[in-house]
Amino acid sequence: MRCKVPSLVDLCVQTAVDNVRYLGDVGETDIHLLERILPHCTLEPLIHVENSTEIEFGEKSINQVVERMKQRKVTFKWKQLYEAKSKEVEETQQRSFERIKELYQKEDASSGPGSSFGNTKSSLMKKAKIEFVNR
Amino acid sequence: MKKEDTVKLISAEGFEFIIDKKAAMVSQTIRNMLTSPGSFAETEHGEVTFPEISTTILEKICQYFYWSLQYASGKETEFHIEPEITLELMMAANYLHT
Protein backbone atom coordinates (compact mmCIF):
# COMPACT_ATOMS: atom_id res chain seq x y z
CA MET A 1 0.00 0.00 0.00
CA ARG A 2 2.71 2.50 1.08
CA CYS A 3 4.81 2.04 -2.01
CA LYS A 4 2.43 3.89 -4.31
CA VAL A 5 2.71 7.14 -2.34
CA PRO A 6 4.90 9.47 -4.40
CA SER A 7 8.16 10.20 -2.62
CA LEU A 8 8.98 13.78 -1.68
CA VAL A 9 12.09 13.65 -3.86
CA ASP A 10 9.94 12.69 -6.85
CA LEU A 11 7.45 15.46 -6.09
CA CYS A 12 10.29 17.98 -5.86
CA VAL A 13 11.85 16.80 -9.11
CA GLN A 14 8.44 17.16 -10.76
CA THR A 15 7.99 20.68 -9.35
CA ALA A 16 11.50 21.63 -10.45
CA VAL A 17 10.82 20.33 -13.96
CA ASP A 18 7.53 22.26 -14.09
CA ASN A 19 9.35 25.42 -13.05
CA VAL A 20 12.52 24.82 -14.96
CA ARG A 21 12.55 28.39 -16.30
CA TYR A 22 12.98 29.70 -12.74
CA LEU A 23 16.01 27.55 -11.94
CA GLY A 24 18.95 29.58 -10.71
CA ASP A 25 22.06 28.59 -8.80
CA VAL A 26 22.26 24.80 -8.74
CA GLY A 27 25.77 24.65 -7.28
CA GLU A 28 24.60 23.01 -4.04
CA THR A 29 22.32 20.45 -5.66
CA ASP A 30 23.35 16.82 -6.06
CA ILE A 31 24.44 15.78 -9.51
CA HIS A 32 22.22 12.69 -9.61
CA LEU A 33 19.16 14.83 -8.86
CA LEU A 34 20.16 17.45 -11.42
CA GLU A 35 20.43 14.66 -13.96
CA ARG A 36 16.69 14.21 -13.64
CA ILE A 37 15.91 17.91 -13.98
CA LEU A 38 18.31 19.53 -16.43
CA PRO A 39 17.41 17.32 -19.44
CA HIS A 40 14.01 19.03 -19.37
CA CYS A 41 15.62 22.43 -19.85
CA THR A 42 15.50 24.24 -23.14
CA LEU A 43 18.38 26.43 -24.21
CA GLU A 44 17.30 29.56 -22.36
CA PRO A 45 16.91 28.08 -18.87
CA LEU A 46 20.21 26.25 -19.35
CA ILE A 47 22.01 29.49 -20.13
CA HIS A 48 20.43 31.06 -17.08
CA VAL A 49 21.51 28.16 -14.82
CA GLU A 50 25.00 28.34 -16.26
CA ASN A 51 25.20 32.06 -15.56
CA SER A 52 23.81 31.96 -12.05
CA THR A 53 25.78 28.98 -10.79
CA GLU A 54 29.06 30.00 -9.27
CA ILE A 55 32.04 28.23 -10.69
CA GLU A 56 35.27 28.58 -8.81
CA PHE A 57 37.75 27.65 -11.51
CA GLY A 58 36.32 28.05 -14.94
CA GLU A 59 36.88 26.75 -18.41
CA LYS A 60 40.14 28.67 -18.81
CA SER A 61 41.77 26.85 -15.90
CA ILE A 62 40.56 23.50 -17.17
CA ASN A 63 41.87 24.07 -20.68
CA GLN A 64 45.18 25.24 -19.29
CA VAL A 65 45.55 22.19 -17.12
CA VAL A 66 44.57 19.81 -19.94
CA GLU A 67 47.16 21.47 -22.18
CA ARG A 68 49.90 21.20 -19.55
CA MET A 69 49.14 17.57 -18.81
CA LYS A 70 49.35 16.81 -22.51
CA GLN A 71 52.69 18.61 -22.84
CA ARG A 72 54.27 16.84 -19.90
CA LYS A 73 52.52 13.54 -20.55
CA VAL A 74 51.28 13.22 -16.98
CA THR A 75 47.82 12.83 -15.50
CA PHE A 76 46.35 13.96 -12.20
CA LYS A 77 43.12 13.33 -10.37
CA TRP A 78 40.55 16.13 -10.28
CA LYS A 79 40.95 16.35 -6.54
CA GLN A 80 44.73 16.84 -6.75
CA LEU A 81 44.28 19.56 -9.34
CA TYR A 82 41.62 21.29 -7.29
CA GLU A 83 43.84 21.25 -4.20
CA ALA A 84 46.83 22.51 -6.15
CA LYS A 85 44.76 25.29 -7.69
CA SER A 86 43.31 26.30 -4.32
CA LYS A 87 46.82 26.43 -2.88
CA GLU A 88 48.03 28.55 -5.76
CA VAL A 89 45.19 31.04 -5.26
CA GLU A 90 45.91 31.20 -1.56
CA GLU A 91 49.61 31.78 -2.13
CA THR A 92 48.96 34.54 -4.62
CA GLN A 93 46.66 36.19 -2.13
CA GLN A 94 49.25 35.85 0.62
CA ARG A 95 51.91 37.39 -1.61
CA SER A 96 49.76 40.43 -2.32
CA PHE A 97 49.11 40.84 1.40
CA GLU A 98 52.84 40.70 2.05
CA ARG A 99 53.49 43.23 -0.66
CA ILE A 100 50.93 45.66 0.70
CA LYS A 101 52.33 45.18 4.18
CA GLU A 102 55.83 45.88 2.93
CA LEU A 103 54.72 49.01 1.11
CA TYR A 104 53.04 50.27 4.26
CA GLN A 105 56.10 49.56 6.36
CA LYS A 106 58.32 51.36 3.89
CA GLU A 107 55.91 54.24 3.95
CA ASP A 108 55.85 54.39 7.74
CA ALA A 109 59.63 54.28 7.94
CA SER A 110 60.23 57.03 5.40
CA SER A 111 57.65 59.48 6.62
CA GLY A 112 57.63 60.36 10.27
CA PRO A 113 54.45 60.67 12.28
CA GLY A 114 52.13 63.45 11.21
CA SER A 115 53.85 64.15 7.92
CA SER A 116 51.88 64.89 4.79
CA PHE A 117 52.30 63.10 1.48
CA GLY A 118 55.06 65.45 0.44
CA ASN A 119 58.03 63.30 1.31
CA THR A 120 56.68 59.96 0.25
CA LYS A 121 59.25 57.78 -1.43
CA SER A 122 57.12 55.02 -2.90
CA SER A 123 55.65 56.35 -6.09
CA LEU A 124 52.66 54.04 -5.85
CA MET A 125 51.74 55.28 -2.41
CA LYS A 126 52.32 58.86 -3.45
CA LYS A 127 49.98 58.49 -6.38
CA ALA A 128 47.37 56.85 -4.22
CA LYS A 129 47.61 59.60 -1.62
CA ILE A 130 47.40 62.37 -4.18
CA GLU A 131 44.38 60.75 -5.73
CA PHE A 132 42.79 60.39 -2.33
CA VAL A 133 43.36 64.03 -1.40
CA ASN A 134 42.16 65.34 -4.75
CA ARG A 135 38.91 63.43 -4.69
CA MET B 1 -1.16 11.92 22.73
CA LYS B 2 1.35 9.97 24.77
CA LYS B 3 4.96 11.10 24.78
CA GLU B 4 6.19 7.72 23.52
CA ASP B 5 4.07 8.10 20.41
CA THR B 6 5.66 11.38 19.41
CA VAL B 7 9.08 12.51 18.27
CA LYS B 8 10.72 15.89 18.36
CA LEU B 9 12.42 17.09 15.18
CA ILE B 10 14.68 20.11 15.66
CA SER B 11 15.61 22.46 12.83
CA ALA B 12 18.90 24.26 12.21
CA GLU B 13 17.55 27.36 13.97
CA GLY B 14 16.45 25.28 16.97
CA PHE B 15 12.73 25.25 16.16
CA GLU B 16 11.08 22.11 17.56
CA PHE B 17 8.41 20.14 15.71
CA ILE B 18 6.61 17.55 17.80
CA ILE B 19 4.88 15.08 15.51
CA ASP B 20 3.50 11.54 15.59
CA LYS B 21 6.17 8.90 15.51
CA LYS B 22 4.12 7.14 12.87
CA ALA B 23 4.35 10.22 10.63
CA ALA B 24 8.09 10.69 11.16
CA MET B 25 8.67 7.04 10.24
CA VAL B 26 7.65 7.90 6.67
CA SER B 27 11.28 8.95 6.38
CA GLN B 28 13.52 5.91 6.07
CA THR B 29 16.40 7.85 7.60
CA ILE B 30 14.40 8.89 10.69
CA ARG B 31 12.97 5.37 10.95
CA ASN B 32 16.50 3.98 11.09
CA MET B 33 17.52 6.55 13.68
CA LEU B 34 14.56 5.78 15.91
CA THR B 35 14.57 2.02 15.61
CA SER B 36 18.22 1.09 15.43
CA PRO B 37 19.37 -1.32 18.12
CA GLY B 38 21.58 -0.01 20.88
CA SER B 39 20.60 2.89 23.05
CA PHE B 40 21.31 5.84 20.80
CA ALA B 41 20.26 9.19 22.22
CA GLU B 42 17.83 9.65 19.30
CA THR B 43 16.07 6.38 20.13
CA GLU B 44 16.04 7.01 23.89
CA HIS B 45 14.70 10.55 23.84
CA GLY B 46 12.76 10.41 20.60
CA GLU B 47 14.57 13.55 19.51
CA VAL B 48 16.43 14.22 16.29
CA THR B 49 18.35 17.40 15.45
CA PHE B 50 18.91 18.44 11.84
CA PRO B 51 21.62 21.11 11.85
CA GLU B 52 21.43 21.41 8.07
CA ILE B 53 17.68 21.68 7.59
CA SER B 54 16.10 25.11 8.01
CA THR B 55 12.79 25.62 9.82
CA THR B 56 10.83 26.39 6.64
CA ILE B 57 12.03 23.20 5.00
CA LEU B 58 11.52 21.02 8.08
CA GLU B 59 7.95 22.32 8.42
CA LYS B 60 7.24 21.38 4.82
CA ILE B 61 8.72 17.95 5.44
CA CYS B 62 6.45 17.42 8.48
CA GLN B 63 3.48 18.42 6.29
CA TYR B 64 4.59 15.86 3.74
CA PHE B 65 4.73 13.11 6.40
CA TYR B 66 1.07 13.64 7.28
CA TRP B 67 0.09 14.08 3.64
CA SER B 68 1.82 10.79 2.87
CA LEU B 69 -0.15 8.96 5.60
CA GLN B 70 -3.40 10.39 4.26
CA TYR B 71 -2.49 9.45 0.72
CA ALA B 72 -1.68 5.90 1.79
CA SER B 73 -5.07 5.61 3.46
CA GLY B 74 -6.80 6.50 0.23
CA LYS B 75 -7.19 10.28 0.40
CA GLU B 76 -5.32 11.14 -2.77
CA THR B 77 -4.87 14.90 -2.78
CA GLU B 78 -2.15 16.99 -4.36
CA PHE B 79 0.88 18.04 -2.32
CA HIS B 80 1.76 21.62 -3.13
CA ILE B 81 5.41 22.68 -3.21
CA GLU B 82 6.38 26.33 -3.51
CA PRO B 83 8.75 26.66 -6.49
CA GLU B 84 11.22 28.79 -4.54
CA ILE B 85 11.93 26.08 -1.95
CA THR B 86 12.01 23.18 -4.42
CA LEU B 87 15.75 22.59 -4.64
CA GLU B 88 16.39 22.94 -0.91
CA LEU B 89 13.44 20.68 -0.11
CA MET B 90 14.65 18.15 -2.64
CA MET B 91 18.08 17.96 -1.02
CA ALA B 92 16.55 17.48 2.42
CA ALA B 93 14.10 14.86 1.12
CA ASN B 94 16.96 13.06 -0.55
CA TYR B 95 18.87 12.99 2.73
CA LEU B 96 15.82 11.77 4.64
CA HIS B 97 15.01 9.07 2.05
CA THR B 98 11.54 10.42 1.76
- Which of the four pLDDT bands, split at 50, 70 and 90, describes residue B92? very high
Query: pLDDT, tens digit, for every residue of A48-73?
Result: 787 777 666 667 777 777 888 888 87
User: Residue A57 has what pLDDT?
Assistant: 67
- Does any CB of chain B come closer than 8 Å to the CB of residue A20? no
Taking the C-alpha atoms of residue B38 and residue A72, their distance in angstroms, rounded to an integer, is: 55
Identify the residue among A4, A12, A18, A30 best suited for mutation to test binding to B, counting B beta carbons within 10 A and taking the highest.
Answer: A12
For chain B, which residues make up each domain, given as ranges? Answer: 4-94
Burial class (CB in 10 A: 0-12, 13-18, 19+), A9: buried
If you average pLDDT over every residue of chain A, what do you get?
Answer: 79
Q: How much is the ipTM here?
A: 0.87
- Chain B residues near residue A29 by CB distance under 8 angstroms: 87, 90-91
pLDDT over 90 (residue A39): no
**Which CATH superfamily groups domain B4-94?**
Potassium Channel Kv1.1; Chain A (3.30.710.10)
**CA within 13 Å, CB half, A108:** 6
User: Residue A130 has what pLDDT?
Assistant: 79
- Which of the four pLDDT bands, split at 50, 70 and 90, describes residue B78? very high
User: Residue A2 has what pLDDT?
Assistant: 45
Mean per-residue pLDDT for B64-91?
Answer: 93
User: Residue A126 has what pLDDT?
Assistant: 77
- Chain B residues near residue A28 by CB distance under 8 angstroms: 87, 91
Distance between first and last Cα of chain A: 75
Mean per-residue pLDDT for A71-80?
Answer: 79
Helix (H) or strand (E) holding B18: strand B16-20
- Which of the four pLDDT bands, split at 50, 70 and 90, describes residue A1? very low
User: Residue A119 has what pLDDT?
Assistant: 58
Contact B68 A5 (CB under 8 A): yes
Query: pLDDT, tens digit, for every residue of B16-71?
Result: 999 999 999 999 999 988 887 776 777 778 889 999 999 999 999 999 999 999 99
Question: Considering only A9-23, A27-41, B82-96, which range has the smallest mean pLDDT?
Answer: A27-41
Residue spans of alpha helices (H) in A5-77: 8-18, 31-37, 43-52, 59-72
- Which of the four pLDDT bands, split at 50, 70 and 90, describes residue A125? confident
